[in-house]
Amino acid sequence: MTMLLALNDVHKSFGALKVTDGISLSVNQGETLGILGPNGAGKTTLFNLISGDIQPDQGSITFGGTDISGLPAHKRCRLGVGRSYQVPQPYSGLTVFENCLVAATAGAQLPEEEAYVVCHDVLQSTGLLNKANQLAGSLTLLNRKRLELARALCTRPKLLLLDEIAGGLTEHEAKALVDEIKAIKARGVTMIWIEHVVHALLAVADRLFVLNFGARLAEGAPTDVMNDPEVKRVYMGLDA
């Protein structure tokens, strides 16, 4: 198996608050790593560190064998690190297609002709093609989530970071989104997925990593992690 991403003893504090406390983890090519953890455990901060939105105080991050620790977010994006945000952040005054075009051109720096093709293909695969000319601000929650996914895919990521994409959806909608995420996985995209909707995560994840107070609480095969007494106690509030 080829390793795509590796974090080595990564630390981050905000003032006196230690939010990432010596995280080491790796993700193999084609793998989906699920991340669980209570509110405030430092999950989104971990994504910010991987995407380059913030820089670690200590530790290193390698991607495809290259040390990307010092690179800004836009350079990591061009190398193939794509992400969605917990709160969808489309340009609401632009259409769905234009939002995708911004991601493909400004984000991934694809030449315009290629960008049009990529946007078309991504909108088709995310079920948004018939909404292409609709303003992003007028979309339903499910379609906003799809657009969030589509915008990340338009940067043609090798690694896709999904931040709580299933939250707030009905059971039926979450299932539709999970099917789309499964299809992305089947195309070979490596993913890290932070998700509170555990059954959605379990439908796709090959491995789970549980964060608590910025540190690793458990890691391993999904069934083993879900049966771990510490995980049940800390994360799910159940007695072991």
Query: Where do contacts with ligand ATP occur on this chain (CB under 6 A)?
Result: 14, 17, 19, 37, 39-45, 86
Alpha carbons 159 and 60: distance in angstroms, whole number:
17
Rg value, the chain, Cα: 17
| Closer of 97 and 193 to ligand ATP (Cβ) | 193
Shortest Å, Cβ 198 to ligand ATP = 13
Alpha carbons 103 and 115: distance in angstroms, whole number:
9
Alpha carbons 41 and 215: distance in angstroms, whole number:
8
Shortest Å, Cβ 103 to ligand ATP = 23
Residues 6+ apart with CB under 8 A from 134: 95, 96
> Which residue type, as a one-letter code, is found at position 37?
G
| Closer of 26 and 86 to ligand ATP (Cβ) | 86
| Closer of 45 and 69 to ligand ATP (Cβ) | 45
Shortest Å, Cβ 55 to ligand ATP = 12
Is the distance from CB of 218 to CB of 228 less than 8 angstroms?
yes
Shortest Å, Cβ 226 to ligand ATP = 18
Q: How many angstroms from the chain centroid is the CA of residue 163?
A: 5
Shortest Å, Cβ 188 to ligand ATP = 27
| Closer of 100 and 169 to ligand ATP (Cβ) | 169
| Closer of 7 and 123 to ligand ATP (Cβ) | 7
Other CB atoms within a 10 A radius of the CB of residue 171 amount to 9
Alpha carbons 238 and 240: distance in angstroms, whole number:
6
Shortest Å, Cβ 89 to ligand ATP = 15
| Closer of 38 and 64 to ligand ATP (Cβ) | 38
The answer to whether the Cα torsion of 109, 111, 114, 115 is positive or negative is positive
